[in-house]
């Protein structure tokens, strides 16, 4: 299908913040005695809103420890993540070139908060390419895997959902795109995805691969 508009996830899709943010979360969770490995934490929380991650960590704390102050933990987590972003954040390879090549409307639709989106897009030089087309779940009131955020973004682009494409790297995002009735491009490999999801998405090797596909479809 030749899409009329395209919606991008942000963390792990346009900017390499997912890995950095979850590493920070792992380090802080270890201090709280969380028993999970780094790999297990990444697997559990990829694409999941950070407040939900913190609540889950609080519920898995070792017996006998004081209850986790989730509000303070989240505040400290955001500060630590922002510090690491400023030190090490880069765009996902091909992100800027892909956005520059597009001749159809595009937007970002992220589960993250506004301040995080503004910071990561600015640090990677992508912010000016998006104008007012950055949509954040806390403001919309709908978090992936619910499709509401994608429906909201498509409406803002004046594009019917069925004519939109979505680019995602996590299971919650893929589920949201499918639930919205959109064509879904997956940066997540087939491994680890339910068959009913893997059978309905288009797997891409990276953003340059997506750029070539869109150019071939006349959407570039």
Residues 96 and 202 in one domain: yes
Look at the chain and report how many structural domains it folds into: 2
pLDDT, one tens digit per residue, over 175-219 is 999 999 999 999 999 999 999 999 999 999 999 999 999 988 777
Phi, psi (rounded to 5 degrees) for 36: -75, 150
- The span from the CA of 211 to the CA of 197, in Å, is 23
- The span from the CA of 217 to the CA of 220, in Å, is 8
pLDDT, one tens digit per residue, over 73-102 is 999 999 999 999 999 999 999 999 999 999
Domain limits at 70? 18-88
Residues 115 and 183 in one domain: yes
Residues 192 and 125 in one domain: yes
Residues 56 and 146 in one domain: no
Q: What is the CA radius of gyration of the chain?
A: 17
pTM here? 0.92
Phi, psi (rounded to 5 degrees) for 203: -85, 135
Residues 67 and 126 in one domain: no
């Amino acid at each position: 299908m030749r899409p009329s508009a395209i919606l991008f996830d942000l963390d792990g899709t346009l900017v390499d913040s997912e890995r950095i943010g979850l590493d920070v979360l792992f380090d802080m969770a270890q201090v709280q005695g969380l028993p999970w490995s780094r790999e297990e934490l990444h697997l559990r929380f990829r694409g999941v809103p950070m407040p939900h991650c913190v609540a889950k960590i609080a519920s898995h704390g070792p017996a006998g420890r004081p209850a986790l102050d989730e509000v303070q933990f989240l505040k400290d987590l955001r500060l630590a993540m922002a510090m690491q972003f400023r030190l090490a954040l880069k765009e996902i390879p091909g992100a800027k070139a892909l956005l520059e090549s597009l001749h159809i409307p595009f937007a970002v639709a992220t589960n993250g908060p506004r301040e995080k989106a503004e910071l990561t897009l600015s640090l990677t030089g992508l912010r000016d390419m998006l104008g007012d087309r950055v949509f954040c779940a806390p403001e919309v009131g709908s978090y992936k895997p619910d499709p509401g955020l994608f429906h909201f973004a498509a409406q803002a682009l004046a594009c019917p959902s069925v004519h939109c494409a979505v680019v995602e790297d996590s299971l919650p995002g893929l589920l949201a795109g499918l639930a919205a009735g959109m064509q879904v491009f997956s940066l997540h490999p087939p491994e680890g995805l339910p068959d009913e999801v893997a059978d309905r998405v288009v797997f891409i090797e990276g953003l340059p691969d997506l750029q070539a596909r869109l150019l071939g479809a006349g959407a570039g």
